[in-house]
Amino acid sequence: MESYQRFLNPEVLAKLKRIDLKARLVVEGFLTGLHRSPFKGFSQEFAEYRSYMPGDEPKRIDWKVYGKTDRFFIREYEEETNLKAYILLDASGSMSYSSDKVTKLEYASYLAASLAYLLIKQRDSVGVVTFTSKLNTYIPPRSSPAHLPVLLQAIDKIKPGGDTNLANTFHQLAEKIKRRGFVIIISDLFDDKEQVLSALRHFRHKKHEVLVFHILDKNELDFSFSQPLILHDLETSKEITLDPRVIRKDYQKTVNEFFSDFKRRCREHLIDYHQITTNTALDRALFDYLEKRARLG
């Protein structure tokens, strides 16, 4: 494994204390890998500069870049950005679950911080919203580099707890965000499916682009427990006792049908849905974001 790749591993990131360092290592490692991959064209979509075009004012040419590359580039400024991104981060009690070394919230925080770092790096405007059953934090989008520490501090302070009401929160935000934007949702989506889908459609009705990162622990998918256990609801504190060996096949069948239906219905409404487990390297999630961003133009 090359040195930069290890910082895409969530278990390695868990050992680092500073959220800004985590975000920088993930993004810089990812971009290094991207430039070495067949997909380096995507990275060009995100350059801080764009090529000089006939009609551009010559005074806007960055001559330092010209001196290094012998090519004309125009620097893009904040008011010229065509993107206002909102990162919605679920901090409800269920996000504290982990069957291994990284909780869902830790993974979601690494992803949110990395996306914020990448968006600011590319001079897009980005804001962060954290929520449980209500809005906890709302930081409006800005593209200034000085805005990044504000976002990272908000992400770093999140503690999981309480129940959730995704649908209500999403409906509130769909009405609160007045200008058309890019909504990035990072959540385990543990709520009523029909209500969540209705709320996601509300974002689309308001002309927002929507990208959903559905964060799950691998055991929530395959139910690979081997001994009888007590399941404790992290949001309601309710408990049930069961033998996973008895229900595993039925559980897996039900879960697969649930997610297949959810993904299909998201696709029908032009919502990008990506399911990710907490043992997945973060470059996959970042590449899913870049693909979406490239399609937005």
Q: Mean pLDDT lowest for which of 107-121, 239-253, 256-270?
A: 239-253
- Binned at pLDDT 50, 70 and 90, residue 79 comes out as very low
More confidently predicted of 270 and 28 = 270
- Cα–Cα–Cα angle for 167, 171, 175, nearest 5°? 170
Residues 281 and 151 occupy one common structural domain: yes
Question: Does residue 47 surpass a pLDDT of 60?
Answer: no
The residues, ordered by sequence, that sit 6+ positions from 27 with a Cβ below 8 Å of its Cβ are 114, 117, 118, 121, 286
Residues 27 and 64 occupy one common structural domain: yes
Which strands, in side-by-side order, build the sheet including 272-277? 135-142, 125-131, 84-90, 182-187, 209-216, 272-277
Residue 270 backbone zone (phi > 0: left; psi -120 to 50: alpha; other: beta):
left
Q: Three-state DSSP class for 150?
A: helix
> What total number of domains does the chain contain?
2
Question: Does residue 175 surpass a pLDDT of 50?
Answer: yes
As a whole number, mean pLDDT of residues 34-42 equals 53
End position of a domain, from candidates 78, 107, 140: 78
Report the predicted TM-score, pTM, of the whole model to 2 decimal places: 0.81
Q: Which domain does 15 fall in, by range?
A: 3-78
Q: Which residues pair with 182 in a beta bridge?
A: 85, 209
End position of a domain, from candidates 78, 94, 118: 78
Rounded CA-CA distance 156/91 in Å is 11
As a whole number, mean pLDDT of residues 44-56 equals 59
Place of tokens 């849905």: 273
Residues 74 and 213 occupy one common structural domain: no
The per-residue pLDDT for range 231-262, each reduced to its tens digit, is 666 566 777 776 666 677 887 888 889 999 99
Residues 39 and 87 occupy one common structural domain: no
Rounded CA-CA distance 40/287 in Å is 11
- Binned at pLDDT 50, 70 and 90, residue 29 comes out as confident
Residues 115 and 213 occupy one common structural domain: yes
Residues 92 and 186 occupy one common structural domain: yes
Rounded CA-CA distance 154/175 in Å is 23
Residues 110 and 178 occupy one common structural domain: yes
Rounded CA-CA distance 123/4 in Å is 24
Question: Does residue 263 surpass a pLDDT of 90?
Answer: yes
- Binned at pLDDT 50, 70 and 90, residue 46 comes out as very low
Question: Does residue 15 surpass a pLDDT of 50?
Answer: yes
Among residues 240, 243, 222, 242, the alpha carbon closest in space to that of 232 is found at 240
Residues 157 and 11 occupy one common structural domain: no
Count the neighbouring beta carbons within 10 Å of the beta carbon of residue 42.
Answer: 14
End position of a domain, from candidates 62, 78, 94: 78
We report the CATH number of the domain holding residue 120 as 3.40.50.410
Residue 114 backbone zone (phi > 0: left; psi -120 to 50: alpha; other: beta):
alpha
Residues 96 and 235 occupy one common structural domain: yes
Kind and range of the H or E run holding 168: helix 166-176
As a whole number, mean pLDDT of residues 157-184 equals 91
pLDDT, averaged across the chain: 84
As a whole number, mean pLDDT of residues 172-180 equals 92
Residue 131 CB-half CA count within 13 A? 26
Q: Which residues pair with 260 in a beta bridge?
A: none
